[in-house]
Structure 1
Amino acid sequence: MATTPISFEAPEEAVPEAGRRGEHDVVGLGIIIAAVLLFVANGSSVLHDFVRSLMTGVRPQDPMLGTALILNIALLLFGWRRYVDLTREVGQRRVAEEMAHKLAHTDPLTGCLNRRSIGPALQEMICTARATGHEVVAMMMDLDNFKRSNDAHGHQAGDAVLLQTAQRIRALLPDRSIMARLGGDEFAFAAIYDPDHVEAIDRLMMRLNDSVARPLEIDGLVLEVTASIGLANTVPSDTGDAAALAELLLHRADLAMYQAKKAGRNRYFWFEQNMESELRFRSELERGIREGIPRGEFVPYYEKQVDLDTGKLTGFEMLARWKSPRHGLLSPELFIPIAEEIGLISELSESLIRQALRDARDWDPRLTLSVNISPLQLRDPWFAQKLLKLLVEANFPPHRLDIEITETCLHENIGVVRTLITSLKNQGIRISLDDFGTGYSSLAQLRTLPFDQIKIDRFFVSTLGKSKDSGTIIEAISSLGKGMDLPITAEGIESPEVLDELGKYGSFKGQGYLYGQPEDAESVRAMLANSNLLPRAPVAPAAEPVELPRSATA
């Protein structure tokens, strides 16, 4: 890979004038030179007479010249002392100024450039590349799930991860590349390359991803992080200004990095023009989410849950929908990840649960309401209290509410999840383990955590009859449920063939498009009314049958 001499150090700026005067004190040096000249001019004659007078005790021929000689020597010593002291002071000041200059332009933890200096350094690199007929590639990198690891193991471990990661990257970058830490776990780096050998950059990115993904050992802990990288180069540049082009490259590399994260992390993406429009669309969605929550644009839809043995309706699962004034009805796959990233998932979820509890309290009391909880909500220590407050506001019986937690939550926050489950169970709320078979739960966790049911992930159900592995997994889960006395719900039943196959493995509850598409509150209410499952007044749960006295039955 071709490179040109681009310094890894921070770009040089004007050093304060005090440091530019040089290492020497001009005044002190002038005094010394003058004293030396006087000494040379008068010393030969005066010194002989002065020494003779000291040895013989005879009065000097010219006492004034002797006094002048002594003053000349004193002036020489004074000038030398001044020169040494001031030269040392100037040197110390210059060192301090250079240190301040370095701190202002580099990251103190990793020694890389910082956000302030990456722009000028990239401009210089672009100018140098143009002069030699080469191109520049800018790269933005973000460590995947770094914050979670940092919170779990402490900031000291997080700093060690950043430092070792920076060292691994620096070891792989071409000579004279530039590298900056922009803040947190975000890095930017750039290199000059030959446009006829762009594949060399792809090879470099693969090595970078592999290097960063290698386990890190820090104080006895083995930590694993990965990196998402975005790239942009100067080949399709539409500006001649180096400063504007440097800013554009970093912006485009940032867009490409976002795409790498969106595609699954631990990979790299080159910038493409359509990413600009995707960013505008995402920004529009973010703004729409912020404005749509207080406007009530997010509404619950309900999917039927059925007892497969009897065919009777047992309840509904709440699914989020966005009635966007601009884009129409949007599915949660589009807006839920964005709401999580911008920190609005709790507000959005609470709004939907509040509406769903109001809707479901008028249903037949035998019908349950299932609600999915985001993993981010489980990090909120007040989540259980918030949920109980919503139940009280809606006057909704806790035993009719089923909270669904994914397996991923168990892997990330097992201690927090255990506390949360215990708190909710104590209030009578049911807890289900959702998407079973796709995460990290173990038999030990299933035994120690008081789940009320297991939900098989829709992937295994929908591929029944097509994949032998899916049948094997469902059979194993069915046996596990029987052994642990846990009811099982199968998601994704979309055809009679899948329903028939599922019946071979035991008794299940089920849900899926075979029983109808998810519907809004009004449609569900009308359907329940037609099925006599919408009592006019709240109905108390059915009591256990009581045997009457014989005389009363006569």
Structure 2
Amino acid sequence: MNRRAGDKTEQRPRLNKAERDIVLLGIATAAIIMFVGIGGTVMPQVARHYLDGSVGPPETALVNALLLNIALIIFGWRRYVDLRQEIDQRREAEERARHLSQIDPLTGCYNRRCATEKLIEAITSEADGRDTGFVLIDLDGFKEINDTNGHLAGDEVLLSIAQRLRDLVPTEGIVARLGGDEFAVVLPTQSEDLEQVELWASRMVAHVAKPIETEVGALEVTISAGIALQRKSDPIDDVESTARTLMHRADLAMYHAKRAGRNRYCWFDKSMEEEARIRREMESAIRAGLARGEFVPHYEQQIDLESGALVGFEMLARWDSPELGQVGPDIFIPVAENCGLIGPLSESLIRQALDDAKDWPASLTLSVNVSPVQLRDPWFPQKLLKLLLGSEFPPARLDVEISESCLQENLTAAQTMIVSLKNLGVRVSLDDFGTGFTSLTQLRTLPFDRVKIDRSFVGELRKVAEAAPELEFDRADRDHIVGTLVSLGKGLQIPVTAEGVEDNSILETLRTMGDMKGQGYLYGKPEDAAAVMKRLRQLDMLSNMPGAQPEGMERKSA
């Protein structure tokens, strides 16, 4: 039996009881009428009997009927009073249930269901001819606040945010909590007052970002907001569909604000729907590509800058899609991260890379990049261990690269992950060094085996070499940035790798800064496994390996 049928079954006895009470009220009314009739006959007889003893008492049957009428009247009236009390209580309970069905119990804001209803009312209202704005708000980094400070502190933050939004929203607007850390505002507005909406949105973002006092201290939370507008002049075929579309557009704008850096608002634009459609298509293509094995690793050389010797390779993801053509990792990796496919994708590439690299000389290392999403998975070290055992690849030859931004999300979790990876016997490097806000204390605390200077800094060295003599001060300043990063690595006794070695001028400048490794297009573009084996044969690095194959023979299958 479904819930609705069950509700009817529960309500039916109550309704039957109410119907019986109404019947009793009818009986009591009939008893009153009978009382009037019988009492008009009996009462005069009783009076004459007591006042004039010569008159006999009234008939017993009439007296009994009168008493029965009185009892029925009392009983019926009592039941009627009880019925009215029950009806009042039922109305109060229905009102409380209606209130609970509309209000979020924590913040006192409207809930998702009621927000949709209010949005529909605003869209269909013709009282003042105003347009309807819908603002979707998401808290930035709220999960980390819960994980670090506990759910009680998280609840305090949600309560404060809700109150700040209510304080800012105009009288005719409403604030709703859609769930978790997501809020919404229904904002009636005039088309000519869009600048006022932007001023309000700016104030909202700034006001919410102020520190929030909690039992664990002051916490700072920012928001990302998306704004979509439904104009009265726009045709409406289905109001519910229109409301859902408006909410979806605000959602797209909100995610655009997050990708733009958070702590801001963004208006919906038609191009966002096209972008979302492309992302959906790419997500489907990624799923199909994983199933068909379209993602393959390529390898970029890592060179000892002093000797020029090949010391290892960094694995890079490549995708040649039959439908989309060659898609760069800067495009498909963020999509895979957002749709939850980065784990299977990365594991597939690492598995292929381990199978390829186990046939390389033992002196060569393999570096693999790990997504911040994977580092949030507590089982990632176990998954990596399974890949190492399945490929029979020595853990000491594997270098796992973690971007500097990962440390800012959750330093404690990152430290735990790094220690777990080190316990597997693999090396751990800090990638994109210099682009984040890693402190000296963090570098000393976290057991990194290597730091990699980001190519954005290394690339500046070429500009320095090409600069005019009058820019000598600028040249020294740019040299100083890379030199400082190299010196910092030396001071902490952490080896350094420079990314983005594009030409000889960069190479010569780096060589003056000390012993380090380098990688970049100066040594060739990333190449597939077959090209790597060919290169190793040309360098005569396979001849001394056990089971080495003569030139021209295919590499044994993994």
Q: Pick the TM interval, shorter chain.
A: 0.7 to 0.9
Corresponding residue of 1:118:
115
Q: Is the CA contact (8 Å cut-off) linking 1:177 and 1:190 kept in structure 2?
A: yes
Corresponding residue of 2:202:
206
- Tell me the SS of whatever aligns to 1:356: helix
Match of 1:299 among 296, 300, 309: 296
Q: Deviations over 1:252-310 (max 9, x none)?
A: 22222222222222222211111221111000111111121121111112122122222
Q: Classify 1:535/1:258 alpha carbon distance in 2 versus 1 (closer, same or farther; 3 Å).
A: farther
Q: How far apart are residue 76 of structure 1 and its match?
A: 5.0
Identity %: 53
- Tell me the SS of whatever aligns to 1:198: helix
Corresponding residue of 1:428:
425
Match of 1:359 among 356, 360, 363: 356
User: Within 1, Cα distance between the matches of 2:175 and 2:284?
Assistant: 33
Q: How does 1:10-409 map to 2 (within 5 A)?
A: 74-128=71-125, 130-235=126-231, 237-409=234-406
Q: Is the CA contact (8 Å cut-off) linking 1:47 and 1:66 kept in structure 2?
A: no
Q: How far apart are residue 467 of structure 1 and its match?
A: 7.1
- Tell me the SS of whatever aligns to 1:347: helix
Q: Classify 1:388/1:26 alpha carbon distance in 2 versus 1 (closer, same or farther; 3 Å).
A: closer
Q: Paired residues, what number?
A: 523
Kindly indicate whether residue 529 of structure 2 is the aligned counterpart of residue 526 of structure 1: no
Equivalent position amino acid for 1:371 in 2: V
Q: How far apart are residue 206 of structure 1 and its match?
A: 1.2
Equivalent position amino acid for 2:358 in 1: R
> When the two structures are superposed, what TM-score results if normalisation uses the length of structure 1?
0.83
- Tell me the SS of whatever aligns to 1:392: helix
Q: Is the CA contact (8 Å cut-off) linking 1:438 and 1:457 kept in structure 2?
A: yes
- Tell me the SS of whatever aligns to 2:132: strand
User: Within 2, Cα distance between the matches of 1:535 and 1:181?
Assistant: 67
Q: Is the CA contact (8 Å cut-off) linking 2:144 and 2:410 kept in structure 1?
A: no
Q: Deviations over 1:171-209 (max 9, x none)?
A: 211113233333332333212111111111111211222
User: Within 1, Cα distance between the matches of 2:428 and 2:347?
Assistant: 17
- Tell me the SS of whatever aligns to 1:351: helix
- Tell me the SS of whatever aligns to 2:372: coil
- Tell me the SS of whatever aligns to 1:197: helix
Q: Is the CA contact (8 Å cut-off) linking 1:363 and 1:535 kept in structure 2?
A: no
Q: Classify 1:244/1:426 alpha carbon distance in 2 versus 1 (closer, same or farther; 3 Å).
A: closer
User: Within 1, Cα distance between the matches of 2:495 and 2:24?
Assistant: 94
Q: Classify 1:59/1:495 alpha carbon distance in 2 versus 1 (closer, same or farther; 3 Å).
A: farther
Match of 2:409 among 392, 409, 412: 412
- Tell me the SS of whatever aligns to 2:183: strand
Unmatched tracts of structure 1, length 5 or more: 1-15, 541-554
User: Within 1, Cα distance between the matches of 2:105 and 2:262?
Assistant: 28
Unmatched tracts of structure 2, length 5 or more: 1-10, 465-473, 549-558
Q: Is the CA contact (8 Å cut-off) linking 2:224 and 2:262 kept in structure 1?
A: yes
Q: Deviations over 1:154-180 (max 9, x none)?
A: 444434333332222222111132333
Kindly indicate whether residue 522 of structure 2 is the aligned counterpart of residue 514 of structure 1: yes
Q: Classify 1:68/1:500 alpha carbon distance in 2 versus 1 (closer, same or farther; 3 Å).
A: same
Corresponding residue of 2:445:
448
Q: Deviations over 1:470-519 (max 9, x none)?
A: 54333332222222221111112234343344344333221222332222
How large is the Cα RMSD of the aligned pairs?
A: 3.6
Equivalent position amino acid for 1:170 in 2: R
The answer to which of 337-346 and 234-243 deviates more is: 234-243
Corresponding residue of 1:552:
none
Q: Classify 1:468/1:335 alpha carbon distance in 2 versus 1 (closer, same or farther; 3 Å).
A: farther
Corresponding residue of 2:482:
474
